[in-house]
Amino acid sequence: MKIRELKTSDIFKVSKILKKMNLKLEGEKQEEVGKNLIMDIFENLHLAENEVNEFVGGLVGLKPEEFAELPLPESIKIIMDLKEILPSFFTSAKA
């Protein structure tokens, strides 16, 4: 599945997820954001399960419950693809 281009409304969805998971991105270089964010996300994923399923599922045209039921290899591929574009997204959003 191909991830759609990120858009302005995604900033609000990601902000809600970050807040719910108590994640902060301050003072990090772009390369560090991706690495640190992935670790923090997996540690706190349970805190924003519904929001993450909605956001990531929406990026590939799936309903939250459809994304939640994907075979693990498929969801991991989508998340890895997303990991490649998130650092520049965060850098742009913070600017």
What is the pLDDT, as a whole number, of residue 35?
A: 67
Reported pTM: 0.76
Using the CB atoms, write b or e for 61-94: b if 16+ within 10 Å. Answer: ebebeebbebeeeebeebbeebeeebbeebeeee
Over the chain (95 residues), the average pLDDT of each successive run of 10 is: 91 89 69 68 89 95 97 93 79 64
pLDDT value of position 71: 97
Check if the beta carbon of residue 67 is closer than 8 Å to that of residue 77: no
Give me the pLDDT at residue 95, please: 57
Please report where in the chains the tokens 């994907």 appear, as a residue. Answer: 70
Predicted pLDDT at 12: 92
Q: Say what the pLDDT of residue 13 is.
A: 92
SS3 69: coil
